[in-house]
Amino acid sequence: MRLRLPAERPTEPPTGYKIAHPVLSQDGTRAGFTGVSLGGALPYGVVDDASCVYGSRHRPPARRCDCGFHCLHTRTAAEALLCTAEHRAAVLLEVSVLGAYIRFERGFRYARQRVRSATVGPCGCGAGAVALADAGWGRPGWRVLLPVCAGCARGRTRVSLAGFARLAGEGLRVIPGAGADPGPAADPGPAAAPGPAADPAHGTGPGVPELVAEAALLQARLDWFQTQLARLGERDAEGGEHG
């Protein structure tokens, strides 16, 4: 007789934690995530269903396959993965485990998920991140992003943290990680204006951390434009003297 584990029927979806790379679609209209190991070639949205990476037609999570979304039970265990060199630029996700799932000692393998929040670490230079910029690699149709400060964002395809949350939709919260030095506002170069703010009355608007990050990026842009205007003024003055 084969022993079977008892079926679970939780009153609320279990919570899990994982790391992933944020991604931006080629046309800049959609945002999502891609995994760091198995299934990393298949970017997913904030609310999405798993599919078998091996092309099988069974529904994840199949017991005799590795397919399905994966997450860990504790935030601490997921944060530990960010210490490795290849995962330093990843973000920490808090997810709701939806649909069928298989419980393991350290986490879940499951059929459907909702990403509730993404915590963004510091820029590679050590300053606090205010945006997500092109990491220089990606998947077909998707650019992988990494956290950057205002100075390191200059001249790169990028989106503010609040802008990424708006593009991803479904009430996603993007949270700047604590403990990083925000550093002085630097010259980020010109960038596209941020999109319209979501309606706070419907509970999808950005919170205080997102608005603070957005304000820092806007201030850096303003400093850049003021510097350019000052240079133009000096150039015009020199031209008048020589004329």
pLDDT tens across the length of the chain (243 residues): 455 667 788 889 999 999 999 999 999 999 999 999 877 888 999 999 999 888 788 999 998 898 999 999 999 999 999 999 999 999 999 999 999 999 999 999 999 999 999 999 999 999 999 999 999 999 999 999 999 999 998 888 999 999 999 999 999 999 998 644 544 443 434 344 344 333 333 344 555 545 555 565 666 566 656 666 766 766 666 665 555
Instruction: Please return the burial class of 27, using the count of CB atoms within 10 Å of its CB with bins 0-12, 13-18 and 19+.
Output: exposed
Residue 80 tokens read as 């530990």
Residue 202 confidence (pLDDT): 38
pLDDT at 214: 59
State residue 243's pLDDT score.
54
Say how far apart CA 197 and CA 189 lie, in whole Å.
22
Crossing angle (nearest 10°) for helices 208-242 and 161-168: 120
Dist. CA 198–CA 80, nearest whole Å: 33
The structure tokens listed for 35 are: 């995994």
**Dihedral sign computed on CA atoms, order 74, 48, 85, 176:** negative
Beta bridge partners of 218: none
The pLDDT of residue 53 is: 81
Which distant-in-sequence residues (6+ apart) come within 8 Å of 49 by Cβ?
99, 111, 112
pLDDT at 220: 58
What pLDDT was estimated at residue 39?
78
pLDDT of residue 6: 72
pLDDT of residue 177: 83
